[in-house]
Structure 1
């Protein structure tokens, strides 16, 4: 949520900021703004809506050698130009952008700024004026900033400019992501390395509660006590071309099509020359020694955890629990004696999951983050990391990260199962099975025109829809419904098929679409019975069935893959169904309303 881009030491800062903000559009936002200046002039420009609205307000005079920009996703105050960032102190001296949520903003306003009248309703406006008030006490910009940080409670990534110091940006973070990018004669800041890959591939991480002074010539990192910290830079293993759509109309369609390649990439990355799993032996030993695996995740990653639960349990012979991180952190259940925690997160910055990781670290439990983003917060703070190697996922509705997470867990399961000599592991070769999955995925993504016609017939005007299934098919139904509601705004729900008659069937009306997923040998006949039940009440049914269980009248037939990996193939047509349902309604596929790609606030 929200995005920050800043630069110092390079001409036409405004264009660099605009380009960077455009690359951060995937994070979700409702307004945008920037501040740029040089020794002669300064410009603050803000707008509600898309970045193109901001661009249209930029004249030739708006340029500078230092600047900060921001895309805002509303938390405090409605989306409006007055609430858009950057925010300026009332004395006009300080300019601030902020990602995150300040929990005690009202107390800060009452305690320090009781005499002030504010223009908007944001917590950020409180902070910039708080810093200004501390400067009125005689403190320097940095000292006032540090004092403000000492009394602020919450999550934040700040970038601060004092107009009287037109060669310096002050930055700090807590829980929210922020990076420093190093250039020749200039430096940049960004919420995500993707934003500034056209400027640099060399980055320095910022830890929580640090303050960094950024100039064109260098950076100085200090802890809360003012002690200077030395930290090596790292090279981002990405290319700016990775985030281009190419010939695709939307990122989501591109990312759906990339899933077979991701399966093969994971196989390549984690298989050694002898065909064995190449994963840290210490990680494998710690998982093997655990008496229970806790998968902690949100949204699509949560659904991926459920889809992989049976796989993990079968191959490793270790019980698995799947937990919503937003619930687990505040209602932690009674844990087993030797738990192992796996955090699934596409971005590696998910705030709900991070607050659980902070607690499990405090308790001394081993942890693994499975993420698509190297160097992300959850990756740094967990004991182990496994990368998805899926390439940037830009569309808000996750597709390839979901399948990559399940595939990564399959590879990990094989390594742990082999280490424990579990009987199931001897008959399960993740690399072989994922190669079959990749081929099956290719056949499914080639069915675009047919699936588009199905959507037009069954879903183009419907207000609601249901996915049903049993076992792993139920977990795929949950993800399928999430995709449909995310981007097409159809009220979609995924249900365990056997639960329909326990209440949900009351919602079935004439022509209600019900999509049944059938890949389980021992449950398929039961799901078909449930489909007949809804048909008798007027529902229009679509059947997505595996080849060996399919009937002639079924609409979508899935190629045969290993029974533990059917989720990877069954989800593909549901992703395309969501895509075409959105497209046929005329909505923005990649940027659904009210949603953000990286959820960095709890």
Structure 2
């Protein structure tokens, strides 16, 4: 979940490296640094702090046209100047940047590298010394030999002052790509770093390395077997990473949701047969009819979106479905059933825990599809089938448009599965009509942002808050509580509404507001009873609903348009995104880059 960038070509490397790192800063922003191969020495500039701060203090003498850079999310060692990347060997000749975790770093220090003096607390420095210790002439052979001794996940880029014509890169569990320019080459952990220079990219696979020179590249496996990799065009455009006149990327991405939903729906609605058509699903009707269960896997917001998706599938397709945290799945030695469809959800397509779950399912013969936002990502390639969100790049650490687009993707999946099984054409048509109306309804909610901002003042002064919801409202409450925690640092917990009286009600007080997600459904009266219980303890209540009916006792009510009941959570979540955003704004938080978090979690 750190960011890597590298450059070889005819231009000065340092400005390109710092520019690329700033575009990757959402992947880690504890510290940053670059190493540039100079005419006589390897020059390293690194420090704790944001990329812009580190770049502003960079010496002017960082000349050179080959270099690597890194922006860090700390794992081994605190975010200090010494622990910042790049790390160098004892001679100062070899520099390494690294994403991932070297699991046997302590063992290597005690054996192969016994007696070596280390300048940092990081596992990455082990790689620099290990590469230098290998008895080979070519840098790529040194790197390959060193990696054969390593256990763990890595995406690395390496330069050697004595071989200034190349960068050697490798990946195993952490993404690395090459980008092909005109007489210049780039390496990166994410296309965002290089998209302003070229849209031609090459994705490395696990246990694959590349030697990159200004005129081209050569790829091979960790076992020294040559591989063939042709560049492909990335659909991402550079302007997608700009704020577009908004104060923050999060605000921009919240407001991009009507367009993102339109893209998610584009070409996928079959109105003639009142169904959806997902070309990436690759399941014929017989296979769909043979399904006995659907299991959704994800982490964080992807897990909460999975809860919503499982509910939609059970409701519309009448197939038993549930969601589970991917980080726990493989460690309980799961039973992989041949008649179960497994669905892996990951915005980045690189989430390590979710990727490991996919690999476990495949190893045991299961059928798994991906729901991802990033074409060419590891999970997309591992699954080989699934649903792309087409939401466009999401830069803010906090997921908004990809969460909503994932909900739309699950609605389409549930509709297609349902129409193949027992869902009638009338209900299929009803869902399609609701999906068609969704972008305009989301825009209607966004147009009422000022009302939400005023309500956010009630949360900004609280030290803790509850979020409650039942059935369709429960996962909305879970996601909303996470949003508030992530960017405002206000402690928040989410519960099913009926569970409040089984313990959490003890904490309700005038100082602890409750946000109640109340769809206009068969549980309306029961939700009102729960609100009455809170008010009886003098707890403030903010209600989010799609009903026009009065809500007695509520301190504030945020209303969204009516839609099909199955899709109501998609609309109910939008004002809660704005609520968290404006709460954080009023508290002066760093909204796009909240403390301790990063966008793409590629370590376990």
Range class of TM-score, shorter chain: over 0.9
The within-5 A match list for 1:505-516 is 505-516=505-516
The within-5 A match list for 1:339-378 is 339-378=340-379
Q: Greater CA deviation, 380-389 or 153-162? A: 380-389
Aligned position for 2:384 = 383
In 2, distance between residues paired with 1:435 and 1:319? 27
Aligned position for 1:449 = 450
In 1, distance between residues paired with 2:284 and 2:475? 26
Residues 378 and 78 (structure 1 numbering): CA distance in 2 closer, same or farther, change over 3 Å?
A: same
Aligned position for 2:277 = 278
**Given that residues 101 and 154 in structure 2 are in contact (C-alpha distance below 8 angstroms), is that contact kept between their aligned partners in structure 1?**
yes
Residues 138 and 282 (structure 1 numbering): CA distance in 2 closer, same or farther, change over 3 Å?
A: closer
The within-5 A match list for 1:446-525 is 446-456=447-457, 458-525=458-525
In 1, distance between residues paired with 2:175 and 2:425? 41
What's the CA shift string for 1:487-518, capped at 9, x where partnerless?
00011011111111110011112231111111
Structure 2 residue matching 1:392: 3-state secondary structure = coil
Aligned position for 2:181 = 183
**Given that residues 267 and 431 in structure 1 are in contact (C-alpha distance below 8 angstroms), is that contact kept between their aligned partners in structure 2?**
no
Give unpaired runs (5+ residues) of structure 1. none
Residues 417 and 471 (structure 1 numbering): CA distance in 2 closer, same or farther, change over 3 Å?
A: same
The within-5 A match list for 1:102-501 is 102-134=102-134, 137-271=135-269, 277-280=276-279, 282-283=282-283, 285=285, 286-423=287-424, 426-456=427-457, 458-501=458-501
Runs of 4 or more consecutive aligned structure 1 residues displaced over 6 Å after TM superposition: none
Once the two structures are TM-superposed, the CA of residue 143 in structure 1 deviates from its matched residue by: 1.8
Once the two structures are TM-superposed, the CA of residue 551 in structure 1 deviates from its matched residue by: 3.6
Once the two structures are TM-superposed, the CA of residue 545 in structure 1 deviates from its matched residue by: 1.5
Equivalent in 555, 558, 561 of residue 556 of structure 1: 558
Structure 2 residue matching 1:330: 3-state secondary structure = helix
**Given that residues 294 and 310 in structure 2 are in contact (C-alpha distance below 8 angstroms), is that contact kept between their aligned partners in structure 1?**
no
Residues 482 and 368 (structure 1 numbering): CA distance in 2 closer, same or farther, change over 3 Å?
A: same
Residues 273 and 530 (structure 1 numbering): CA distance in 2 closer, same or farther, change over 3 Å?
A: closer
**Given that residues 173 and 208 in structure 1 are in contact (C-alpha distance below 8 angstroms), is that contact kept between their aligned partners in structure 2?**
yes
In 1, distance between residues paired with 2:517 and 2:232? 45
In 1, distance between residues paired with 2:90 and 2:538? 63
In 2, distance between residues paired with 1:228 and 1:555? 62
What's the CA shift string for 1:228-262, capped at 9, x where partnerless?
11122110001101111011000111111111111
TM-score (norm 1): 0.96
Once the two structures are TM-superposed, the CA of residue 75 in structure 1 deviates from its matched residue by: 0.5
Residues 80 and 412 (structure 1 numbering): CA distance in 2 closer, same or farther, change over 3 Å?
A: same
In 2, distance between residues paired with 1:60 and 1:125? 26
TM-score (norm 2): 0.96
- Pairs aligned (count): 599
Q: Greater CA deviation, 487-496 or 411-420? A: 411-420
In 1, distance between residues paired with 2:422 and 2:522? 27
What's the CA shift string for 1:294-324, capped at 9, x where partnerless?
1000000111111222211122121112010
Once the two structures are TM-superposed, the CA of residue 272 in structure 1 deviates from its matched residue by: 6.0
In 1, distance between residues paired with 2:136 and 2:542? 70
In 1, distance between residues paired with 2:213 and 2:431? 49
In 2, distance between residues paired with 1:496 and 1:488? 23
Once the two structures are TM-superposed, the CA of residue 94 in structure 1 deviates from its matched residue by: 0.6
Aligned position for 1:578 = 580
Structure 2 residue matching 1:329: 3-state secondary structure = helix
In 1, distance between residues paired with 2:80 and 2:431? 50
Structure 1 residue matching 2:11: 3-state secondary structure = coil
Once the two structures are TM-superposed, the CA of residue 429 in structure 1 deviates from its matched residue by: 4.7
Once the two structures are TM-superposed, the CA of residue 426 in structure 1 deviates from its matched residue by: 4.1
Structure 2 residue matching 1:357: 3-state secondary structure = helix
**Given that residues 7 and 17 in structure 1 are in contact (C-alpha distance below 8 angstroms), is that contact kept between their aligned partners in structure 2?**
yes
Once the two structures are TM-superposed, the CA of residue 131 in structure 1 deviates from its matched residue by: 1.0
